[in-house]
């Protein structure tokens, strides 16, 4: 037998490798632990309220969010409508603009222009939400009041515009990725048949990447839905079912941010805010899951 068969023993390097593998594995599953942890701990604090004072009918159909009244009611409808109206308004202009920007950056722009636009989009994404909120209050607010001659400039329009700009980078980036995923051979084949660039985009690129574009929109919606500080500061934060873009509204996220500091630990108000948190968590979870399934759909093809 070869004397070097003695080498077949588990040396330090072997054990170090094992330990490293175990540590790295813990890091790997940490994301799962944290997402479960978020669900568990938010639910834990909200559970008393959910099992006790929560009236589901009231929660989903009443607009009376009066947590501090002597006879508190927890109707979240106005908050949901507030979130939906601001997010909806944001998407109304942000989806077409973002997809258009993705098409321009991905399919038309070249060289320096392309780099510059991408950097600007990144800067858009980098602005902190509290700064956006401040912009809404101090720049947009007077602008809206003056332009439309309305008494208050904080509302659906203001928050929607801010939110649309905030959600645009993620939509642009994901949509551009989806466009990039369309193989160049498709484009070349269509161009060889005499199609213009625009015809290629319209008839080949967009159909081939529509799942990715849909995922981009979903992630944008999720982003808008979950935004807190900017909406809190720019929406006017008034409980209201809006009838015009100038009406003030209050969002789910903003309600938690504005009220949690004033609640007593363990009170029903405290529990109600955590219940809003559970609701937000579940909705964003479903939106993200759907986006992931949609994206996975393209990868399979």
Partner 1 sequence: MFTATTLNRRSYRTQNVARAVFFLMTVTLVIPVLIIIGTLVVKGGPAISWEFLFTEPRDGMTAGGIFPALVGTVWLVAVALLASVPVGVAAALYLSEYAPDNLLTRTINLAIINLAGVPSIVHALFGVGAFVLFFNIGASILAASLTLAVMTLPVVIVATRESLQAVPQAFREACWNMGATRWQTIRKVVLPNSISGILTGVILEVSRTSGETAPIMFTGAAAFVAFLPASVFDQTMAMSYHLYYIATQQTGVPEEIPFGVALVLISIVLMMNAISIAFRVYLRGLKKW
Partner 2 sequence: MVDGLPASATAGVLAAATTAGGVASPLYGEPPIIEVRDLTISYDGQPALRDISLDIFRHEIFGIIGPANSGKTSFLRTLNRMDGFNPGMDVRGSIRLNGKDINDWRNVYALRSRIGVVFPLPVGLPLTVYDNVAFSPRLRGIRRKADLDEVVERCLTRAALWDEVKDRLDSLGSLLSGGQQQRLTIARALSQEPELLLLDEFSIAVDPVTTMRIEDVLRELRSELTIVLVTNLVQQARRLADRTAFFLMGEMVDIGATEDLFEGRVRDERTTGYIEGRFG
Best CA proximity match to 228, nearest among 93, 99, 79: 79
Task: Choose the contact partner of 111 out of partner 2, partner 1, none; CB within 5 to 8 A by kind.
Answer: none
Contacts within 8 Å (CB) and 24+ apart, 101-106:
101/168, 101/172, 102/171, 102/172, 102/173, 102/175, 102/176, 102/178, 102/179, 102/213, 102/216, 103/175, 103/179, 103/201, 105/172, 105/176, 106/175, 106/176, 106/179, 106/180
**187 and 204 Cβ atoms separated by less than 8 Å:** yes
Region from 69-77, 112-120, 203-211, 241-249 binding partner 1, contact rule CB under 8 A:
112-120
Task: Choose the contact partner of 262 out of partner 1, partner 2, none; CB within 5 to 8 A by kind.
Answer: none
Region from 24-32, 49-57, 59-67, 68-76 binding partner 1, contact rule CB under 8 A:
24-32
Contacting partner 1 within 172-231 (CB under 8 A): 172, 196-199, 201, 219, 222-223, 225-229
Verify binding: residue 25, partner 2, rule CB under 8 A: no
Alpha-carbon gap, residue 259 to 82, rounded angstroms = 16
Contacting partner 1 within 145-174 (CB under 8 A): 165, 168, 172
Task: Choose the contact partner of 126 out of partner 1, partner 2, none; CB within 5 to 8 A by kind.
Answer: partner 1
Best CA proximity match to 251, nearest among 77, 109, 131, 90: 77
Region from 68-76, 84-92, 117-125, 241-249 binding partner 1, contact rule CB under 8 A:
117-125
**Strand, helix or coil at 235?**
coil
Verify binding: residue 289, partner 1, rule CB under 8 A: yes
Verify binding: residue 14, partner 2, rule CB under 8 A: yes
**73 and 58 Cβ atoms separated by less than 8 Å:** yes
Best CA proximity match to 82, nearest among 275, 228, 268: 228
Task: Choose the contact partner of 5 out of partner 2, partner 1, none; CB within 5 to 8 A by kind.
Answer: partner 2
Alpha-carbon gap, residue 127 to 162, rounded angstroms = 11
Q: What number of residues does the chain have? A: 301
Verify binding: residue 13, partner 2, rule CB under 8 A: yes
Q: What are phi and psi of 137, to 5 degrees?
A: -75, -45
Verify binding: residue 257, partner 1, rule CB under 8 A: yes
Verify binding: residue 7, partner 2, rule CB under 8 A: yes
Verify binding: residue 234, partner 1, rule CB under 8 A: no
Verify binding: residue 112, partner 2, rule CB under 8 A: no
Verify binding: residue 9, partner 2, rule CB under 8 A: yes
Alpha-carbon gap, residue 297 to 4, rounded angstroms = 52
Task: Choose the contact partner of 9 out of partner 2, partner 1, none; CB within 5 to 8 A by kind.
Answer: partner 2
Write out the residues near partner 2 by the rule CB under 8 A.
Answer: 1-2, 4-5, 7-11, 13-14, 17
């Amino acid at each position: 037998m070869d004397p070097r068969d003695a080498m077949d023993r588990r040396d330090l390097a072997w054990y170090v490798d094992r330990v490293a593998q175990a540590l790295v594995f813990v890091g790997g599953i940490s994301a799962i632990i944290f997402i479960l942890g978020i669900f568990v701990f938010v639910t834990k604090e909200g559970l008393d309220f959910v099992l006790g004072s929560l009236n589901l009918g009231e929660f989903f159909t009443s607009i009376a969010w009066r947590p501090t009244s002597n006879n508190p009611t927890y109707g979240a409808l106005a908050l949901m409508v507030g979130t939906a109206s601001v997010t909806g308004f944001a998407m109304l202009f942000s989806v077409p603009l973002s997809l258009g920007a993705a098409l321009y950056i991905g399919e038309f722009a070249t060289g320096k222009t392309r780099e510059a636009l991408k950097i600007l989009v990144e800067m858009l994404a980098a602005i902190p939400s509290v700064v956006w909120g401040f912009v809404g209050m101090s720049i947009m607010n007077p602008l809206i009041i003056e332009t439309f001659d309305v008494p208050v400039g904080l509302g659906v329009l203001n928050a929607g515009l801010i939110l649309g700009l905030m959600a645009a980078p993620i939509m642009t980036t994901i949509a551009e990725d989806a466009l990039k995923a369309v193989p160049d051979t498709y484009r070349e084949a269509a161009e060889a048949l005499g199609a213009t660039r625009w015809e290629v985009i319209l008839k080949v690129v967009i159909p081939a990447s529509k799942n990715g574009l849909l995922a981009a929109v979903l992630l944008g919606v999720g982003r808008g839905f979950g935004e807190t500080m900017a909406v809190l500061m720019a929406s006017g934060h008034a409980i209201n079912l809006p009838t015009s873009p100038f009406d003030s509204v209050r969002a789910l996220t903003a309600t938690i941010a504005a009220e949690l500091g004033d609640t007593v630990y363990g009170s029903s108000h405290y529990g109600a805010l955590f219940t809003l948190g559970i609701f937000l968590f579940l909705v964003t979870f479903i939106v993200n899951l759907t986006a992931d399934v949609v994206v996975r759909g393209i990868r399979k093809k």
